[in-house]
Amino acid sequence: MSSQQTGVLISFEGAEGSGKSTQIDRLVTHLEKSGHEVLVTREPGGTEIGEEIRHLLIHSKSNSAMTPEAELLLFAASRAQLVRECILPALTTGKVVICDRFLDSTTVYQGAARSIAMDPVNQINAFAVGDVIPSLTIVLDVPAEVSLSRVKRRASDLPDRMEQENIDFYRLVREGYLILAKSLPERFYVLDGTSAIEELDTAIWEKVKTHLEKKELSCSN
């Protein structure tokens, strides 16, 4: 990140039903209580253009014919907009930005799970985000069976495009995250997403506090 960015970017990753939203809500409460200004983003979406792309990607009836390549470019387009419209301005004013999914979702879902070659995936990811890379990425790791059953419970009458995937897809997603985390140990922090909510909350807050202290953003508690 450039020196003009005084904020800190933290991303949450994991398969469907890994409990990211619950833990993000809890982390935001901790951060705000200790005096930090926080921005939470969700992908795909988070901007007007991004929400339209989200609809196209996830809910549109016409998307069943979408190729993996088109899907990759749409996720990247949504992120490129989000970075410039929301994330960069927040980082420039010293906020802690929490991303509910970021570029690693593309590496894992489109690269590892949909088998697009990693070279174009990495190049497109890099083009979309520029130098805006999280300094900490928290992965909530859950078995594929847990993802699938949580997705089925969550899905309404008409499951969305991503929710129609089968168990093998979620196995590839899980494996993709674990391989990526292993290759970038200085950025990734992997937790067992099946642990108790309170236990995860404590582990995440401890990790984030230490991370912010290292980044010289003081926490008061």
Q: Check binding of 201 to ligand TMP (CB under 6 A).
A: no
Residue in 13, 16, 141, 201 binding ligand TMP, rule: CB under 6 A: 16
Q: Check binding of 174 to ligand TMP (CB under 6 A).
A: no
CB of 16 to ligand TMP, least distance (A): 6
Residue in 75, 169, 170, 188 binding ligand TMP, rule: CB under 6 A: 75
Residue with tokens 């014919």: 65
Return the HEC string of the chain: CCCCCCCEEEEEECCCCCCHHHHHHHHHHHHHHCCCCEEEEECCCCCHHHHHHHHHHHHCHHHHHCCHHHHHHHHHHHHHHHHHHHHHHHHHCCCEEEEECCHHHHHHHHHHHCCCCHHHHHHHHHHHHCCCCCCEEEEEECCHHHHHHHHHHHCCCCCCCHHHCCHHHHHHHHHHHHHHHHHCCCCEEEEECCCCHHHHHHHHHHHHHHHHHHCCCCCCC
Q: Check binding of 44 to ligand TMP (CB under 6 A).
A: yes
Nearer to ligand TMP, 7 or 45 (CB): 45
Nearer to ligand TMP, 96 or 121 (CB): 121
Q: Check binding of 106 to ligand TMP (CB under 6 A).
A: yes
Nearer to ligand TMP, 21 or 218 (CB): 21
CB of 103 to ligand TMP, least distance (A): 7
Residue in 70, 118, 126, 162 binding ligand TMP, rule: CB under 6 A: 162
Q: Check binding of 101 to ligand TMP (CB under 6 A).
A: yes
For residues 13 and 187, the answer to whether their CB atoms sit within 8 Å is: no
Q: Check binding of 13 to ligand TMP (CB under 6 A).
A: no
Q: Check binding of 205 to ligand TMP (CB under 6 A).
A: no
CB of 213 to ligand TMP, least distance (A): 29
Q: What is the binding site for ligand TMP (CB under 6 A)?
A: 16, 43-44, 75, 101, 105-106, 109-110, 162
